Amino acid sequence: MPLLKLEIKGAVALLSLNRPELMNALGSVGDGEVIRRVCEQISSDPAIRCAVLTGEGRGFSAGGDVKAMLAGEGVFGGGGTAIREKYRREIHVLSRALYELEVPLVAAVNGPAIGLGCDIACLADVRIASERARFGVTFLKVGLIPGDGGAWLLQRVVGYSRAAEMLYTGEVIDAETAAEWGLVSRVVPHERLLDEAFAIAERIAEQPPQTLRMAKSLLRQGRDSSYPALMEFSAAAQGLCHLTDDHREGVNAILEKRKPTFKGC
């Protein structure tokens, strides 16, 4: 059974973590490469304008496979140096692949998102949650720290104080609290989750595709760039946008009072 299922629905790619019997836990050797290949496939396809990430079964992702941790198997096997290298080659490859995905990513969190699972959700651009969703960064409860980049991600999503509270206490928060803290943008009935996620993804996919990818890159760079550096990048990117057919199509659609048809050129 593949770790990740990929379905293309029009201009939207649906990615489903596919280990429902393990609550979509991760940590097998090869997981990073599987996700890297799928993300590369999506980024290289100009027809795909947005992606939705969810989990099969009851959970979004339980994070690292604790049984494999206890048994010292998969990514969690060997001495300290070996485990460090496996994190670099597996967990870090997985996280970077999702972070570097060129199209916007919508996380449809259908159930518990714990540890690495919570951090995977934080890698998405937009997060919506089922009422059954739960979020926790419970690394300290098993004597670990976030080895997946979560210490960088979470505070950029919920702020330093709430990120520290979640990490230091290990408490799991419900979907409504996650929405209040800005971890997700909305909570929806469980049975409506994918419909709502696709509604958002399809609205995103209506935008001019190449400009949309530049807009995502701009937002990501805005997290860490200085204001002057971001202004320079914005000016250069805007120069390219002004020369596109999609820019002219958007302006003409406004003047002609119609819906634009963007083609990515």
Instruction: Tell me the DSSP string of 109-122.
Output: E-SEEETHHHHHHH
The tally of CA atoms less than 13 A away on the side-chain side of residue 110 is 24
Q: How far is CA 23 from CA 3, 65, 67, 203, 209, in A?
A: 12, 9, 12, 30, 34
Average per-residue pLDDT for the chain? 95
- Are residues 32 and 162 both part of a single domain? yes
Q: Is residue 263 part of a domain?
A: no
- Are residues 139 and 232 both part of a single domain? no
- Are residues 233 and 146 both part of a single domain? no
- Are residues 214 and 195 both part of a single domain? no
- Are residues 245 and 131 both part of a single domain? no
- Are residues 166 and 233 both part of a single domain? no
Q: Which residues pair with 184 in a beta bridge?
A: none
The number of helix segments (H) and strand segments (E) in the chain equals 12, 9
Q: Is residue 106 part of a domain?
A: yes
Q: Is residue 243 part of a domain?
A: yes
- Are residues 114 and 19 both part of a single domain? yes
* pTM strictly above 0.85: yes
Residue 107 · residue 31 · CB < 8 Å:
no
Residues of the chain above pLDDT 70, percent: 100
Please say whether the dihedral angle defined by the alpha carbons of residues 208, 222, 148 and 145, taken in this order, is positive or negative.
negative
- Are residues 145 and 236 both part of a single domain? no
Q: Is residue 104 part of a domain?
A: yes
Q: Is residue 115 part of a domain?
A: yes
Residue pLDDT, tens place only, 99-111? 999 999 999 999 9
Task: Tell how far CA 169 is from the center of its chain.
Answer: 24
Q: Is residue 264 part of a domain?
A: no
Q: Is residue 260 part of a domain?
A: no
Helix (H) or strand (E) holding 180: helix 175-180
Tell me, what CATH number does 128's domain have? Answer: 3.90.226.10
| Per-residue pLDDT at 1 exceeds 80 | no
The tally of CA atoms less than 13 A away on the side-chain side of residue 24 is 27
**Which among 205, 221, 240 is the end of a domain?**
205
Q: Which residue range(s) make up the domain with 219?
A: 209-255
Residue 27, pLDDT score? 84
Residue 167 · residue 144 · CB < 8 Å:
no
- Are residues 136 and 27 both part of a single domain? yes
Q: Which of 93, 91, 14 is nearest to 50 (CA)?
A: 14
- At 185, the pLDDT band (50, 70, 90 cuts) reads very high
Residue 59 · residue 28 · CB < 8 Å:
no
- Are residues 134 and 213 both part of a single domain? no
Number of separate domains in the chain: 2
- At 41, the pLDDT band (50, 70, 90 cuts) reads very high
Residues of the chain above pLDDT 90, percent: 92
- At 34, the pLDDT band (50, 70, 90 cuts) reads very high
- Are residues 131 and 65 both part of a single domain? yes
- Are residues 213 and 128 both part of a single domain? no
